[in-house]
Amino acid sequence: MRGHPAAGVAVALNFRRPNGDWSNLGHAVTDANGRVKEIGGRLEAGEYRLDFATGAYFKSFETDAFYPEVSVMFAVAEGETHVHVPLLLSPFGYSTYKGR
């Protein structure tokens, strides 16, 4: 839709506990480059979920969004020190992959 990074998207990071419950580790907002530099501190091995408030983001441009929130689950391996989870976003779709 806009063709540039999505600045101002609220993001929450959650960790799946051994009992299956989710625990919130932090909140952030994407910067001018559409990135979150730091959220939740150092990650340990396990399963995580990023929740992106996409509906509020598109509403700020007076645009309806089919997905009011996008949740991306991913796994962090033992010894993994850097995680990059790009989200390519439009009002009616999204794509994600493991970045470098």
The DSSP code sequence of 7-43 is TT-EEEEEEE-TTS-EEEEEEEE--TTS--S-SSSSP
**Predicted confidence (pLDDT) per residue in 2-27, tens digit:** 788 999 999 999 999 999 999 999 99
Chosen CATH of 10-96 out of 1.10.357.10, 1.10.1040.10, 2.60.40.180, 3.90.1150.10: 2.60.40.180
Q: How far apart are CA 47 and CA 1, in angstroms?
A: 31
pLDDT digits (tens, 9 = 90+) for 56-80: 999 999 999 999 999 999 999 999 9
User: Going by DSSP bridges, is the β-strand pair 10-16/70-76 parallel, antiparallel, or unpaired?
Assistant: unpaired
pTM: 0.92
Give the H/E segment covering residue 54.
helix 54-59
| CB 47, CB 85: distance < 8 Å | no
